[in-house]
Structure 1
């Protein structure tokens, strides 16, 4: 290797450290090449920075260096995680160990096996899925077996160059702070790879290593699907015989979805080009059904050929769920938003609960949504008599809140977030796109048997509860300083510590402000926010006098400024076009007035 001319001493030290620790030839050679080429900036970016372990675990680009996802970073993470569990979950770790799974992405199996190797060498039981699995199987297995924790190697719906390391706590929910900070601290204390951590041969013919796939699948089909769906609905599915089109988007959903279809009696035709896992997702630009038509083009074609008017889709790790329907009058396809599906699910799950538990009072029932999701469940709760609570964004908060309420004796029957995540059972306290598919198929069968479409039911629900119309999108922003400037201006809009009073010369006035970055909430008597506050992210919510809710926030995993808006009206307002026009007017004004002049340097996405 060259003399590393022009490199600072700290970079040189990190190069030497990496080359002494990393046993993966590809990533070793990459760091060698960068050093020989004196690629100072690249080496600083990947060696002097490090992927932080957060409440979503790890997620990032697969490449060489501490700032990326690779063998060495995974081993360091597994070693630190092991030491954390030995200190904080010792009894569970000794009794039932951990469960580890992976999706079909590049390196996922390898990194699951490296994680299992670290634990097996320490003498702990490992339930390592023998083939790729859906993410919901991990939290399900953690609770089923009483494991100390669960790890899923997946980047969900991220682009093909990314991968991730998702961790579940012993309660089956995603970890929340301060657990993430403690794991990060433990990782930093265990960076040097143990000699045994690289040798995955230990996993072969090892009594500590068990493949739970068959048992987990059977139990999932029984307790999550069959026990939760009334036999009358299965009969309705078979009678209606709706021809569904399904796509797993080159992910891992097909196998369990095919089994579920047999259990609940639906006809499902899978898009053949997207049926099997493929780490490069060759037929889609982004493997995310949230992206809309671009991700469902092949599904539309397959549905047309097979005479199907309903498309059901999962993202690549099958924890999210999407739906599209062909309008029988216009022939146009409608892709339902996450909030629209949340509305339909809320009504349907409540209807099923009443049928299955006619004697249980609804004042003992809860539904949950994230604070950036539609408030339709809150509106329903006031009219129907059940309880509603919102949480911070992310199922880590939703799942843990559901467990808290269940511990207090409540039935938590449905939870959702607008990013097409749905929790339709209490066996898995996380989003589950497969059980969501099973429940939604029953709703479709009922509607189609009555001669209705999904859009008809959605219109009925808005007629009953009032319009809840959303317009959500985001701006790409790669400059952290610009982000700070934008949110700083909003907090000092009319002077120091004075937020905007409205938009369009106060045509629409702000009546409530909640800032979960600073902890300010003027809807509370002491002006202090009730929800958790974090100064590490930006998040401000405004409520206007005409019923508009808008939340402006930064993404925790992507260089984005996101906005979530919803205009909630009373049931006596019947003209949706007027509501939508008002919403567009207000969103345009909010972006132009609150983000200017910095908005000129941002990259907008079409809402």
Structure 2
């Protein structure tokens, strides 16, 4: 029986679920909220939504609105999740759980510390060791700790850059990477089998004077910084100290300021913080969205701080510090350029290769790898062909990147850099997930080096494109709330003239499609047997087209939003210097893809709002 079926069988009626909640939940506030809702007939639909539906555990764990009900994030749902996860870990490797336990971290959002403590208490009552950080930490500290202590799992309570009303519960496997299927389904099933709170589930007294409980903060910080300081070449630290390039940093009301301060001080970087945003603030009071990927709208205070002090480089972490954004003042235009995730991927890819060669002069690159997700810029693929290292693309998300990097490492390969376009970067195998702290170290040192050579970050980016060819992206989406229509659209693309007869051209035959990879059906005509190498999922839609002129286009659905997304990138030859002409061709081809494949007018699709 599926989890959904279990839940359906579990509930007989809304009144029964309300009574059950009031019996199980020990939080007075959520119980009071539920009673108030139940007292008014006009709340019937809301009550059905929050009580008769359940938030599901996915590969990114849980994430949702903090509110009463089984469909939301709250104390009772956390207790149920922790109980189910504990039983899951017992089945997977009880000896490892007994020996090395788990590590738990949390951010500065409302309830994060409390939910981390609830989880810790449940594991402690069961007799398992717990390493619980004594204060807020960057999310990368958790996978770093799993790897360091060989824990059975890592848990971090965070909603990253989501709005203030949200929170989340993210887990890592014993290999220190994010979990992938079928682990998520197995955990969800275990949660469903352990819904009723255990007798000691709400008792946090086990957190006091417990020999099974420890705070790894000091040791982990020391070891994490040690990895960075050992990685930094002395010549680059000397440049950092001598150049004194003033970098403006914002924590976006998140956790990272005390940690990034230790990093920058240790590597010789001169920096200033955006004071209004340097401390954890669950209200995120100075930004509409606490996500530096939003660009200029989220970086206004950073621009003001930098302009006052004459700083020309801004680095921004998201609230849990697993992502990094960067902006640079364009002096000639008196304006700030906010680099896209793909542009930062190009810069950091170039820098990581440059540093590797500095450390390993004359050494072959045959064993060296860089990775990115399939919807990110293919600049690393182009660089790999020119420079002789290896490139691998994965499905979207660092769960796939991290696990693939570990697989390559186990095979004796050297992975030096991974990224995805949503400003996620992995610059060290010490953290097999996106890590905005180590990425900030690399970006700051890269900027310092370039300025010592009389170059800016943007000038180096343009030099990369001059050398390897312009890589220009145009990404957007259409809104579609009808899953049946979405499937119909993608099925029509696949069966233009029969099974696996995908379009061969667009724009009335003007542009030729050279290969198709369909990760919904597993078809890939670029492989000898027409079978895709990357994992296939029939529950989501994802098709990638490669064109003869260098365009790569991926059409996919979102797992969390009613969207059909398109990711396009023109990977132009280095011989083509006219960027304006490349952009014109890209825009023409994207219009053709949308009109001929997605057919927004015929299908009533709503374009992204400007």
Normalised TM-score (structure 2): 0.95
Check conservation: 2:479, 2:605, Cα contact below 8 A.
no
Cα deviation for residue 487 of structure 1 reads 2.6
SS at the partner of 1:197? coil
- CA offsets 1:514-555 (integer angstroms, 9 cap, x no match): 111121222223222111011221211111221111111122
Query: What is the alpha-carbon distance in structure 1 between the residues aligned to residue 386 and residue 578 of structure 2?
Result: 21
Cα deviation for residue 354 of structure 1 reads 1.0
Check conservation: 1:253, 1:317, Cα contact below 8 A.
yes
* Aligned partner (choices 244, 253, 256) of residue 253 of structure 1: 256
- CA offsets 1:194-213 (integer angstroms, 9 cap, x no match): 12111112212222111111
Query: What is the alpha-carbon distance in structure 2 between the residues aligned to residue 163 and residue 175 of structure 1?
Result: 19
Query: What is the alpha-carbon distance in structure 1 between the residues aligned to residue 12 and residue 149 of structure 2?
Result: 49
Check conservation: 1:102, 1:112, Cα contact below 8 A.
yes
* Aligned partner (choices 151, 170, 173) of residue 169 of structure 1: 173
1:54 aligns with 2:58: yes
1:209-358 paired onto structure 2 within 5 Å: 209-223=213-227, 225-358=228-361
- CA offsets 1:194-242 (integer angstroms, 9 cap, x no match): 121111122122221111111111110001x101111110111111111
Query: What is the alpha-carbon distance in structure 1 between the residues aligned to residue 522 and residue 396 of structure 2?
Result: 16
1:546-585 paired onto structure 2 within 5 Å: 546-585=549-588
- CA offsets 1:80-104 (integer angstroms, 9 cap, x no match): 1001111112121111100000001
Query: What is the alpha-carbon distance in structure 2 between the residues aligned to residue 494 and residue 65 of structure 1?
Result: 48
1:383 aligns with 2:411: no
Q: Which residue of 1 aligns with 2:27?
A: 24
1:405-554 paired onto structure 2 within 5 Å: 405-493=408-496, 498-554=501-557
Cα deviation for residue 34 of structure 1 reads 2.7
Tell me whether 555-564 or 81-90 shows the greater mean CA deviation: 555-564
Q: Which residue of 2 aligns with 1:71?
A: 75
- CA offsets 1:468-527 (integer angstroms, 9 cap, x no match): 111122334444344334333433445665433332212222222111112122222322
SS at the partner of 2:566? strand
List gaps (5 residues or longer) in structure 2.
1-10
* Aligned partner (choices 589, 593, 603) of residue 590 of structure 1: 593
Cα deviation for residue 605 of structure 1 reads 4.0
SS at the partner of 1:513? strand
Q: 1:598 to 1:228 in 2, by over 3 A?
A: farther
Check conservation: 1:465, 1:571, Cα contact below 8 A.
yes
SS at the partner of 2:396? coil
1:82 aligns with 2:86: yes
SS at the partner of 2:72? coil
Check conservation: 2:478, 2:605, Cα contact below 8 A.
no
List gaps (5 residues or longer) in structure 1.
1-7
Q: 1:418 to 1:212 in 2, by over 3 A?
A: same
Check conservation: 1:477, 1:603, Cα contact below 8 A.
no
Count of aligned pairs: 598
Q: Which residue of 1 aligns with 2:116?
A: 112
- CA offsets 1:284-341 (integer angstroms, 9 cap, x no match): 1111111111011111111111101111011110000111011121112111111111
Tell me whether 290-299 or 480-489 shows the greater mean CA deviation: 480-489
Q: Which residue of 2 aligns with 1:197?
A: 201
Check conservation: 1:592, 1:599, Cα contact below 8 A.
no
Cα deviation for residue 358 of structure 1 reads 2.1
- CA offsets 1:37-95 (integer angstroms, 9 cap, x no match): 23332122112211111111111111111111111111111001001111112121111
- CA offsets 1:22-41 (integer angstroms, 9 cap, x no match): 11122222322332223332
Query: What is the alpha-carbon distance in structure 1 between the residues aligned to residue 143 and residue 487 of structure 2?
Result: 36
Query: What is the alpha-carbon distance in structure 2 between the residues aligned to residue 321 and residue 598 of structure 1?
Result: 40
Query: What is the alpha-carbon distance in structure 2 between the residues aligned to residue 105 and residue 237 of structure 1?
Result: 34
Q: Which residue of 2 aligns with 1:5?
A: none
Check conservation: 1:245, 1:302, Cα contact below 8 A.
yes
SS at the partner of 2:569? strand
Cα deviation for residue 603 of structure 1 reads 4.7
Check conservation: 1:486, 1:598, Cα contact below 8 A.
no
